[in-house]
Amino acid sequence: MLFVSCDGFSLAGLARFHAWTKRRHPEATLVKAHPFRFHPRQIGGLIRAAGFRIDTDTATELSAVAELAGRATLVRVLAC
């Protein structure tokens, strides 16, 4: 059994991080401590690629607007 709880970022948030924050503030703790950022739907894909079967995934509850330009989303996944 695997339980994952992490922040997922909208497409706009990911673009801003990679295009602006990461380049403008490379020494910032935000950039150094959190080098990986994921869209909520990517998280489930990574878990499936590791061989788990997902039972519950809160990323499926997101609206299209939240996926494009929403704030960071807490994604919880329960997998076996």
- Give the Cα separation of 7 and 71 in Å (integer): 10
Residue-range definition of the domain harbouring residue 24:
2-79
**Separation CA 53–CA 42 (nearest Å):** 15
User: How many domains would you assign to the chain?
Assistant: 1
Which residue from 71, 38, 53 is spatially nearest to 1, judged by alpha carbons?
Answer: 53
pLDDT at 61 (0 to 100)? 80
pTM attached to this predicted model? 0.78
Rounded to 5 degrees, what are φ and ψ at 8? -115, 150
What's the Cα-to-Cα distance from 54 to each of 18, 46, 73, rounded to whole Å? 29, 11, 18
Cβ neighbours of 42 (radius 10 Å): 15
pLDDT digits (tens, 9 = 90+) for 33-74: 988 889 888 998 999 999 999 999 888 788 888 888 887 788
